[in-house]
Structures are given as C-alpha cells and as structure tokens.
Amino acid sequence: MSLSFWLVFSGKFDVVHVGFGVLSAALVAVLTREVERLGTRVDRQGREIPVFTFSVSWPRFLAYLPWLLGQIVIASVQIAYVIVHPRLPISPVVIRFDTRLGGDLARTTFGNSITLTPGTITLDVKGDEFTVHALIRDAADQVLSRTMEKRVARAIGRAGEPGA
C-alpha cells in the first residue's frame, strides 16, 4: 500500500524513484510489524489480541485541527509584526512547566502543536515536564494559559487523567 502511495505522489517512475519507493515501503512494513508486535497481549486461550493504549476521538481531533490552524495564523501575524518592527521587540524566554496530559500520544500532539505554532518550539520533554522556548513573552503566556493543552486533552481523550 505504501509503495502505491509513493508511486502516485512522486509521479516519477524511473529506477531511482521506484527504488526509493520500494526501500521506503519495506522500511514502513518492518517498523509497522514491530509496533504491532509491541501492541499486543495474550488472552487466556493463548491468542494475541491487539492492544491500543490511546483513545482518539476522531471528530474532536478533526475539530482541533482548524483551531490549531487558526492559532498558527494568529502567531504568524504576531511574529511577522515583531520581525518588521523597527525596534525588533523580541523578548525570548525559556519556560518549564508540568503538563496534566496523560499518555504519550497526547504529550506528543501537544509538543508538536507548540512547535508548529510560530514563535514557540518544544525543546525537551521529560515525563510530565515540558521545556519550551518562546520568541516573545505573549507566546509563552499562551502556552502557560493551558488552552492548547486542554484542547489536546479533549481531542485525544483522557482529559484530566494524569499519567493515563
């Protein structure tokens, strides 16, 4: 399946591109098989049963994406203003805070959402602690307001469940 996507989206059918497609498809197959093997448990009859450790509400997640896009646009305008301003009023800050999000998927989504928003970047995540760099103080205040964190919690599920 991934090979067909590669061929359709690349639009090139020479030896190099098809070779990279085959290599990419093989890599995806190997990585997916390993992930599937890690995500199973054995029932009483000895059968392997897939186990999913996260809960995504697809309608809520799809509703989250336009909100995130809006935040990206707002932050882009703020950063553009700072860049074109003659005094270049940056006020870089590094903040550390603990998240209330439970689960790796929610934390990853949150960290990536921060990084996608112009003017902020997730520098490090250790357990529940996030380290974020913000170009302006307003961007740091936005992260600390926990609005994005709450929206990620609603989108991924398990809102307010620490360590879930």
* pLDDT tens digits for range 94-121: 999 999 998 888 898 999 999 999 999 9
Cβ-Cβ contacts under 8 Å for 7 (sequence gap 6 or more): 13, 18, 21
| Residue 163 within any structural domain of the chain | no
- In which element (H, E) is residue 109 found? helix 104-116
Total domains, the chain: 2
Instruction: Report the predicted TM-score, pTM, of the whole model to 2 decimal places.
Output: 0.66
CA–CA dist 4, 38 (Å, integer): 26
**Could you tell me if 32 and 102 lie in one domain?**
no
CA–CA dist 126, 81 (Å, integer): 33
**Could you tell me if 29 and 67 lie in one domain?**
no
Domain of residue 9 covers 2-50
* pLDDT tens digits for range 114-143: 999 999 999 999 989 999 999 999 999 999
pLDDT surpassing 50 at residue 161: no
**Could you tell me if 72 and 143 lie in one domain?**
yes
Going by pLDDT thresholds of 50, 70 and 90, the confidence category of residue 26 is confident
| Residue 161 within any structural domain of the chain | no
* Closest CA relative to residue 156, chosen from 98, 97, 93, 113: 113
**Could you tell me if 65 and 99 lie in one domain?**
yes
**Could you tell me if 127 and 152 lie in one domain?**
yes
| Residue 162 within any structural domain of the chain | no
CA–CA dist 6, 11 (Å, integer): 8
Integer Rg of the chain from CA: 20
**Could you tell me if 38 and 64 lie in one domain?**
no
